[in-house]
Structures are given as C-alpha cells and as structure tokens.
A and B are shown apart, each in its own frame.
Chain A
C-alpha cells in the first residue's frame, strides 16, 4: 500500500498571504489528522477529519481550517500567515479514529 502523501513538500510564503496544504491518506483510511511541529512546541494537534466532518479540533486560532473530501483526501488552509506559522505541517491517517497514526513526510512552511 502507498503511504500518506503530502504536497507540496516545501513552501515559502510572505506574511499576510494564505496557503493550502494537501494530504492523501493511505487507501482505506477514513480519518485524517493534522499536526504542527516546531522546535519549541513539538507536535501539536490541529484537527481531525472523519468522513468529511471535522470531529476534533486543537487549540489553534480560526485562521487554521481544513476540509476532507469524499475520497478521504484532506486539505488544510492557513489564512493571514504570521511569522510564527513557520513549521513542519504533518498529516496522519488512521483507519477509524485517533488511535495509531501513519504520518506523511510533512510540508515545511516558511513564512518570511
């Protein structure tokens, strides 16, 4: 089975812009979670989608949003980018819930 794929792998944006990141889960996995990883804070949970519905949400501002499509692919959007949004954004899929997560390689976002 193919693993979790994320595009793009690297991205450079300017403050105030918006960005959309994409994630394709492992075939058959219906749950997709997004995490932000920074050196200072480690991995922090953003949100989880299951069957096109946001099921859980972490403690991030409303500038961070996401959606899931009928084929389980997911996108994450960050609007009005801030310097502090520079991070590795990781997508993880699982069969049905938060449980055992299978991570993609991440998208490295740099905000200048």
Chain B
C-alpha cells in the first residue's frame, strides 16, 4: 500500500509570510498532483508534476517533485487570505492507476489578514 504523508497538518500564518508544505512517501510515483479544497467543495487541481526534479510555478506557488519521485513540496510566497484552504497532494502509482490516486491527508492552511 502506497502512503503519502503531508506536513504540517495545520498551519496558520499572517498575510505576507512565506510557507512550505511537504508531501513524502517511501514509494515511487509516476506523477504527483496538488489540489486545493475549500469547505463544501471538491478538490481543485493546481498542478501535476511528472519528472523527477521538476519545478513548476503558478504565480506565487512553486511546486517541486523530488529527484527520486517519492516526495514533493509546495512553497507559497507572500501568502494571501485567498490562499486559505486544504492542500492535498496525490500520487499516481506506477501500476497504471490500479489503486486510483493515493491522497495525503492534507494541510489545513489559514492565512490571517
């Protein structure tokens, strides 16, 4: 069974600060995705990373896939209240999706104005 551990579980910071969220596993994933979920809604896809060492930027968000494709990080620069939400990482295993996506339990992020 593939597991994804996310840290921290909860994070509350002030507007304008920077933060990093981590997603770690002992398993190799063929791809890794990051989602953001707001209360009462389904997760919304932010980015997919596929290649080990890959870095993708989405405005103030920077996503990195580990060289060994076992871990990933999400860095937010100058956080804003609109960034508040549950951030989820999800990995697609090398078995062609036989186990669906494996999700981490998420990081609850609160950005205080």
Contacts and interface: CB of A to CB of B under 8 A. Distances in A.
B42 A106 contact: yes
Given A42-B105, A43-B88, A43-B103, A101 B45 contact: yes
A104 interface: yes
Given A92-B42, A98-B92, A58 B103 contact: no
B106 A42 contact: yes
Contacts of B102: 45
Contacts of B104: 42
A33 B100 contact: yes
Nearest to B97: A98
Interface string B2-45: 00000000000000000000000000000101010000111111
B98 A100 contact: no
A102 B46 CA distance: 11
A3 B92 CA distance: 22
Contacts of B97: 48, 55-56, 97-99
Interface residues of A, number: 26
- Looking at B90, B96, B97, B105, the one whose CB has the most chain A CB atoms below 10 A away is B97
Interface in A28-49: 33, 35, 41-48
The DSSP consensus for interface residues of chain A is strand
Scoring A43, A46, A101 by chain B CB atoms within 10 A of each residue's CB, the highest score goes to A43
A4 interface: yes
19 contacts: A33-B101, A35-B103, A41-B105, A42-B88, A42-B106, A45-B99, A47-B100, A56-B98, A56-B100, A90-B42, A97-B97, A98-B97, A99-B31, A99-B97, A100-B33, A100-B48, A101-B45, A105-B41, A105-B42
Given A35-B103, A101-B101, 16 more contacts: A35-B100, A42-B88, A42-B103, A42-B106, A43-B103, A44-B103, A48-B100, A56-B100, A98-B101, A99-B31, A99-B48, A99-B97, A101-B43, A103-B43, A103-B44, A106-B41
